[in-house]
Amino acid sequence: MFDEYCPGINEEIEGFTDVLGLDKFQAIYYVMSYLKPGCSQMAILYSLRE
């Protein structure tokens, strides 16, 4: 899909991950699973809310 819509992006990703020592699939997963700003997950103990 990248080759069709963004020619050359695969080589850019591969070069970027080579320099950082990452697996290119980890970098792609990170970008594709990035959460929208303002979204958070947390739990608050009842005793801490008062």
Per-residue pLDDT of 12-47, as tens digits, reads 888 888 888 888 888 878 777 766 666 555 556 556
Whether 17 and 27 have beta carbons less than 8 Å apart is answered as yes
pTM of the predicted structure, to 2 decimals: 0.49
In 3-50, which ranges are E strands?
Answer: none
Residues whose CB is less than 8 angstroms from the CB of residue 2 and which lie 6 or more positions away in sequence, other chains included: 9, 10
Residue 48 scores a pLDDT above 60? no
